[in-house]
Chain A
Amino acid sequence: MKTRNECREWRELLGAYALGHLEGDERAGLEAHLEGCAGCREELAALAPVARMLPHADPARFELAPEPPPELGRRIASAIEDEKQRTQQRRRRRTFGGLAFGGAAAAAVAAVLLLFVLGGSSGTDAGQPVEFTDLPEGISIDATLEPHAYGTEIHMYVHGVPSGTLCRVWLRGPRGVSYPAGTFRYRWGDDSDAVLSSALDISRTRELVVDTGKRTFVAPVNPPGATAKIGQEEST
């Protein structure tokens, strides 16, 4: 049976041992002790990963501890305030613009909207949100479609899949024909939307499909009264 003091003496050699600095009798003695002492083996196992990390550091940088300048916090607060005001102004402009149009201008807007409803690709609409419902707990997909002369642009943000997941996206037209829209890799911490495009005109689009490798998610586009579903296409 090992005494507490005996263990402590051997344990205090574990640092040098983990760094490969122990030699001769001390090394042999410690290794013999380790064979019979689970506690010291456990301690060594806790130190070993730290010892393996040491070569990555540059000791010349240990003394350098750069501090952010005091005004950086204020600059960030000011940048956020600017962005907030720009967002509010954009919202106000949209509301005001909607109320101020009259007469011929309103007729022109109505014509554009009519063209859009009838299926023309006006290319001027801000985007048509697509709703994915019945998604599994923890997963959400924000997507909007924008009509363009070349087809449809898709803005998409996927939340809740593992970081690094490759997402394939396509649109389905009438009779289930698929039109690829491209791929993007979801990275946690990247707040930007993925922007993809497909040759299928928005007016002919029936479904938006996202495949995350393990699961496929499908949302209806255009047809009234349709509900979104989670596809059963498991592609491992």
Chain B
Amino acid sequence: MIQLGTSTRGALSRERDVREAYAAHSGELYGFAVRSLGDSGLAEEAVQETFVRAWRAGDRFDPKIGSLRTWLFAILRNVVIDLGRARSVRPSVAEGGIEPSVEPLDEALLAWQVEEAMRRLGEDHRRVLVETYYRGRPYAEVAEELGVPEGTVKSRVYYGLRALRVVLEEMGYED
């Protein structure tokens, strides 16, 4: 689990703590908000509301229950639900080629976690997982294209999955 050094109860009650939390987690929170809402303007609104709510309720944060990151994601989840409800009365507009997510929110969170973890993998590992798993291409064909033996593609798939597990664990995923 990712924990901030200042993860004591009331960790966000001071503005300096909010700045530290923003520096550590805003990228991920924003990425998930864009993934869920499909609109960068709404995503900015969601992240802003998340930090304002977190600051307002700073003394209610309890690191014994979970990390600051998990708490911020829990607040963002509620904000996204609220924004989703508000938006349901008006049509959504996708922008920048990012389609709004249509799956339930927990599914969107799981999907975002895997996508974010894939982005953090090394190029070699991500490439073989994309080609063999997502595109369903034969290992021999991928090996030829990459100019490596087929066995190397298989070992990269193995080390890629291992690396993915490590990244997911760093992001707070537990079995």
**Residue ranges of A at the interface with B (Cβ–Cβ < 8 Å):** 11-16, 18-19, 21, 46-47, 49-51, 53-54, 56-59, 61-69, 72-73, 75-77, 79-81, 83, 138, 157, 159-160, 163, 187-191
Contacts and interface: CB of A to CB of B under 8 A. Distances in A.
B52 A15 contact: no
B11 interface: no
Given A50-B168, A56-B110, A67-B30, A80 B51 contact: yes
A63 B98 CA distance: 12
Interface in B63-89: 64-66, 71-75, 77-78
Closest 3 CB pairs of A and B: A189-B74, A191-B57, A15-B158
Contact of A15 (B107, B113, B159): B159
Nearest to A43: B162
A187 B60 CA distance: 12
Contacts of B139: 16, 21
Interface residues of B, number: 66
B118 A62 contact: yes
Given A19-B133, A138-B64, A73 B71 contact: no
Given A16-B157, A21-B139, A54-B114, A83 B52 contact: yes
Given A50-B164, A189-B71, A159 B62 contact: yes
A16 B52 contact: no
Contacts of B114: 53-54, 56-57
